[in-house]
Structure 1
Amino acid sequence: MKTLYDVQQLLKKFGTYVYVGKRLWDIEVMALEIDHLHDADLISKKQFIQSKLVLNHEHKIEENKAKNKSHLGGI
């Protein structure tokens, strides 16, 4: 599992589709769903860790985009 799309496909196997309307929020909801699947022992530890790594990475990218956008808006 290497991309956000891969995480979405894993969630889809459990009937979970996430679309809140803002990519950052989607990532946060996906992270919560992955936590719930792990707590219920529905995904392996490896799937859990890989998913969380991907989601954390994507979350940081989105935060940096937002930070850069706010800095540019102040010029």
Structure 2
Amino acid sequence: MKTFYDVQQLLKRFGILVYMGNRLYDIEMSQIELKQVHENGLISTPEYLQAELILRQEHRRELAYIDKRRKKDE
């Protein structure tokens, strides 16, 4: 598992499809859903930690992209 898409596919295995219309919100909701899947014992701790790390990285990247876009528009 290396990308946000891979995390989405992991969640899809459990019938969870996340689309909020905003990439940042999609990442945040995926984090919430991933935590629930782990708390219910459906995925292992290493798998959860790997997916959480990917989501945190994507969240930081998206915030940086939004900030860069705002500065460019000013």
State TM-score, norm by structure 2. Answer: 0.97
Shift in Å at residue 4 of structure 1? 0.7
How many residues align? The count is: 74
Q: Percent identity?
A: 43
2:55 pairs with 1:50: no
Query: What is the distance in 2 between the residues matched to 1:8 and 1:14?
Result: 10
Deviant stretches of 4+, over 3 Å: none
Distance in 1 (CA, whole Å) between partners of 2:52 and 2:37 is 12
- Once the two structures are superposed, the pairs formed by residues 1-75 of structure 1 within 5 Å of their partners are 1-74=1-74
Residues in 1 aligned to 2:47 and 2:28: alpha-carbon distance in whole angstroms: 17
Give 3-state SS (helix, strand or coil) of 2:19's partner.
Answer: coil
Q: CA RMSD in A?
A: 0.6
Shift of residue 17, structure 1, vs aligned partner: 0.3
TM-score for both structures, normalised by structure 1: 0.96
Q: What letter corresponds to residue 21 of structure 1 in structure 2?
A: G
- Segments of 5+ residues of structure 1 without an aligned counterpart are none
